[in-house]
Amino acid sequence: MKSLAVPSPVQDWIGCAQRAPYFETEGGRSWTPVGYNEAITWPNLALLYRRRDPAVVERHFARLRDSGVTCLRLMLDYNQVRHRHFESRCGQFAPAMVQLWDDLIALGELYGIRYLLTPFDTFFMARRWRTHPYSRTNGGPCGTIGQMFTCPDTRMAIKNRLAFATRRWGHSGAIFGWDLWNEIDTNYAGGDIASCHAFISDISAALRAEEMAAHGRCHLQTVSVFGPALKARPQLAEIVFRHPALDFASVHLYEKGTIDDPRDTLSPARATARLMTEALQHCPADRPLLDTEHGPIHAFKDRHITLPDAFDTRYFRRMQWAHLASGGAGGGMRWPNRHPHVLTQGMYDSQKVLGDFLHLVDWPRFRREPLGARLTVHDFKGLATGCGDGTQAVVSLMPDQHACGTAITLDIAALQPGIYRVTRFNPISGECESSQHQTSSNGDLAVLVGSAAQDVVLAVARTG
């Protein structure tokens, strides 16, 4: 690996914006998570283990930077194979894994990539419980995975894992935040929701105390949830969206028949807009919300299908813009669900386009809510979704396959009077196709969109 004796582009830590449900750096610059899920055993990072070929991994990070990626979501270990446990035995941190994370943090600092870290790969932990370092059959403290939240010794081991991680790497701005538990559910607490709430309270407080002692400040915290589990057990919303110890909310947008096994690209976008709107109803107005995992999981895992590149890229792109225009921070974070587990070039291109759009919105002052009935689109067939406040709005239009190229208009109600700049943005090419100034004197803004034969995004902002 090349020398890292250069100014770090991630020197500032990330916090929640003071006046809006988005993120900013300590220096007050807007920051948006644009990225996806990676894993230490997948092709892009695998060669960093035992430094087998770190130059390959470094070239990947340069590609991420050039593609506008700002954030990766990663698990400290990934237990699809046994030799990637973060702890070789409970409390014994594997030297090769520690070295891998030393290098990942350094690469993040060098290339401006931050990490949303979660302590366990819970999917393979559950499926290979007998071989997990925390399992009692393998010398660990816990009898069953259903006791992980309630066993005192296991809870202490979890605190110790997080304490080790922040003592070694928590000084770095390359850490965006901590996902305290990947896809929280009652099955880790014998079905008891109160024990889940208490677990997050305790783990959160312990990690904050450790970070304050070590660094004098704390990284952001969240906890993720599997979308269908939230639907089946709505009481989880009290933890995921409203737990007082957490800083932002994160959901995993999986839905049967739309997102998890797409047959077209508009239905998953519709589902994204609907699920994000529902999630915002549970979320405090000043708390950022984002999807941190989505993808065609059923098609890939159960039907053993890797979606065709062109179709998958369009599916990816439309979900990304539906997420942003529905009030999410960034475009959501894809779980590749491809063979191999890597994004297509078109997906990286789509993330670069998203990054080019972000400067059109004043995110630290954007107190977004779903536009809902405030948005009216005339003579349009497809998905129209948007979010806004009194002076700004983001609108995404995705025509269905039968749309024609006729010009359409839309109305946005309940804006403050003034002159507004309306920028038409092409979410495929990244071009700002037009910009117009229009006046809203009574709170209603009428916008001539132009042709709706292809996807279009509008950024609306009051000037002056």
The per-residue pLDDT for 3 is 43
- What angle do helix axes 95-111 and 54-66 make, rounded to 10 degrees? 30
Assign 376 to helix, strand or coil. Answer: strand
Tokens for 283, please give them: 């979320």
Q: Are 112 and 176 in contact (CB under 8 A)?
A: no
The per-residue pLDDT for 433 is 84
CA 51 from centre of chain: 28
Dump pLDDT digits (tens) for 305-318.
999 999 999 999 99
Q: Give the separation between CA 254 and CA 334, rounded to whole angstroms.
A: 11
The per-residue pLDDT for 5 is 41
The per-residue pLDDT for 404 is 66
* C-alpha distance from residue 438 to each of 68, 377, 422, 448 (Å): 31, 17, 7, 10
* C-alpha distance from residue 258 to each of 134, 182, 270, 319, 366 (Å): 36, 22, 9, 11, 30
0.75 exceeded by the pTM?
Answer: yes
Q: Give the separation between CA 12 and CA 9, rounded to whole angstroms.
A: 8
- One-letter identity of residue 341: H
Q: Give the separation between CA 97 and CA 103, rounded to whole angstroms.
A: 10
Contacts of 173 (CB under 8 A, 6+ apart): 8, 10, 11, 12, 13, 14, 109, 114
Tokens for 285, please give them: 């107005």
Contacts of 5 (CB under 8 A, 6+ apart): none
Tokens for 236, please give them: 């989880």
CATH fold group of domain 14-365? TIM Barrel (3.20.20)
The per-residue pLDDT for 464 is 72
Assign 112 to helix, strand or coil. Answer: coil
The answer regarding whether domain 371-462 maps to CATH 1.10.8 reads: no
The per-residue pLDDT for 8 is 62
- As beta bridge partners, residue 114 has 71
Contacts of 359 (CB under 8 A, 6+ apart): none
The per-residue pLDDT for 1 is 53
* Residue pLDDT tens, the chain, 464 long: 544 444 566 789 999 999 999 999 999 999 999 999 999 999 999 999 999 999 999 999 999 999 999 999 999 999 887 789 999 999 999 999 999 999 999 999 999 999 999 999 999 999 999 999 999 999 999 999 999 999 999 999 999 999 999 999 999 999 999 999 999 999 999 999 999 999 999 999 999 999 999 999 999 999 999 999 999 999 999 999 999 999 999 999 999 999 999 999 999 999 999 999 999 999 999 999 999 999 999 999 999 999 999 999 999 999 999 999 999 999 999 999 999 999 999 999 999 999 999 999 999 999 999 999 999 999 899 999 999 999 999 999 999 987 666 788 999 999 998 899 999 999 999 999 888 787 877 889 999 888 778 999 999 999 97
Domain boundaries, the chain: 14-365, 371-462
Element (H, E) at 52: none
CB atoms within 10 A of CB 72: 25
